[in-house]
Amino acid sequence: MEYISQIAFLLVLAVAGYFLAKRIGSIKKNINLGKEVDRSDNKGQRWKNTLLIAFGQKKMFKKFIPAILHLMIYVGFLVINLEVLEFIIDGIAGTHRIFAPILGDAYTVAINIFEFLAVAVLVSCVAFLLRRNVLNVKRLRTLSGWPKLDGNLILVIEIILMFAILTMNATDQLLQGKDSHYLQTGSFFFSSFLTPLFEGMSVDALRFTERFAWWFHIIGILAFAVYVTYSKHLHIFMAFPNTYFARLTPNGKMNNMDEVTTEVKSMLGMDAGDPPAEVARLGAKDATDLTWVNLMNSYACTECGRCTAECPANITGKKLSPRKIMMDTRDRIDEIGKNIKAGKEAEEGSSLFSDDYISAEELNACTSCNACVEACPININPLDIILQGRRYMAMEESSSPQSWNAMFQNVETSFAPWKFPPTDRFKWADKLNEEQK
């Protein structure tokens, strides 16, 4: 009978591990459906970006108050989860606070730090709930349906988990000296404010409450880990590889198409190198035509809306929303992954660049200004996806707006956007010289 708790814990751990590994494997397969691109260069700069932007949250501090609140949750998540290691060892070994005898007084200090961060997380989550649902923050107010529920749900879960930690510690303090299983660890500052709520309870009731809070917290943490992989909060983990593999070239520089560059060089008699392999299509029609970095961007998206809030097209009433571009890309690659798993054609259903996902109106509204790229706190690049979709429209479908097609034709025939021959290009200067004489 004494091993029932340990067996139950191992079963919970195994079930959570199975579902977590399965979902991670699915996401990895979906990302690998993207086209290959080399991001193995400049490792030093990439690690620097990861430390400053992902770990240091450098770009978050453009807006100080939400940055501080987010930092509290972020640090709390990293540090408090160190205690999960003790939970797991205790659960497997049947012990209680196994690190307490090893660390001595330092253990009490550590738990007090954990409790301070738990309270900071709790306060920050309440503040974010108010921002999302009470304050008039447009980029958060425009969310609806599952994305809005997801954002609220995760905050409520975190609040409940933090209360579980404080409840566990409060009842633990009351059990010290009454039950030999509970080691003397000293007083915990924040949870001691909750002890009056439990002082009239019997030892059995205290033990039940402490054990319930312990199990609730560890099961909640494991369930949270699985849930996060289906949520926008996957950015908790994805922000780090996403920042590492982000583009290092200046934001304003657009990537040339190797297929087109090679063809142009050949026409001009320049050394074009080895001819490229057969090109399936120019630009991108569906999610699988994007690079694996684009697909990773979509899974890393926080849905915070900073990109859309800065987008000049969106601000002036256009349909384009860079946040929606990333969400649609993730939804479509998920759909393709499910098609493959079900034995269907990968591209069955509407393609990414269609009215069901990203419409031509949205693509054509983009000014290519890079405001969305600059605004993103983890260096996601919606513009790259937009450009690849527009290239397909222009070069494969010839479905660009008529004014664009006229400009393309002028560039092709006259080497300028305007319809006059190159020989007449400097007539305006000649005319100006004549007027000045």
pLDDT digit string, tens, across residues 23-58: 999 999 999 999 999 998 999 999 999 999 998 889
pLDDT digit string, tens, across residues 221-263: 999 999 999 988 898 899 999 999 999 988 888 888 877 887 7
Helix (H) or strand (E) holding 386: helix 382-392
Say whether pLDDT at 368 is over 90.
Answer: yes
- Cα–Cα dist 370/284, whole Å: 19
Say whether pLDDT at 377 is over 50.
Answer: yes
pLDDT digit string, tens, across residues 295-311: 999 999 988 889 999 99
Q: Which of 85-89, 252-256, 361-365 has the lowest average pLDDT?
A: 252-256
Model confidence, pTM: 0.85
Residue 431 confidence (pLDDT)? 78
Residue for token digits 């996401």?
A: 27
pLDDT digit string, tens, across residues 379-426: 999 999 999 999 999 888 888 888 888 888 888 888 788 887 877 777
Residue 18 confidence (pLDDT)? 96
Q: Which of 5-9, 311-315, 410-414 has the lowest average pLDDT?
A: 410-414
Residue for token digits 């301070």?
A: 116
- Per-residue confidence at 1, pLDDT binned at 50, 70, 90? very low
Residues 6 or more apart from 347 whose CB is under 8 A from it? 286, 288, 336, 339
**What mean pLDDT, rounded, does the chain reach?**
88
Say whether pLDDT at 277 is over 80.
Answer: no
Residues 6 or more apart from 378 whose CB is under 8 A from it? 53, 54, 59, 235, 239, 242, 243, 300, 302
Q: Which residues pair with 291 in a beta bridge?
A: 35
Calculated CA dihedral for residues 426, 427, 432, 433, nearest 10 degrees: 80
Say whether pLDDT at 275 is over 70.
Answer: no
Angstrom CA distances, 72 to 20, 29, 65, 68, 347, stand at 26, 33, 11, 6, 42
Say whether pLDDT at 208 is over 90.
Answer: yes
- Cα–Cα dist 328/297, whole Å: 12
- Per-residue confidence at 272, pLDDT binned at 50, 70, 90? low
